Amino acid sequence: MGFGGISIWQLLIILVIIVLLFGTKRLRGIGSDLGSAIKGFRNSVKDPEETAESAAPAAQPQQPQIKAEVKDSTPVSTEATKTPEQR
């Protein structure tokens, strides 16, 4: 018995049918595409913080930060901030 009640001979027959339907070139292309996708997925799962940090500086150049001090501030009441009871 093989996988899930399928014998090795049945698996070989299924493999031959798949090769006849798709051809070896197409199966090779599908295999390489699948391998690249798995490799990319593993790299993204492996170090998500590292890839996020390396992508952030390239996407956003550093801007000098300007800080302004507010010496005197008084609250201003506007119509938009008043509740219906205050109007």
Chain segment 4-52, per-residue pLDDT in tens: 788 899 999 999 999 999 898 898 999 999 999 999 999 888 876 665 5
Short-list 56, 58, 59, CA closest to 48? 56
User: What dihedral angle (degrees, nearest 10) is formed by the CA atoms of 76, 81, 83, 85?
Assistant: 30
pTM passes above 0.85: no
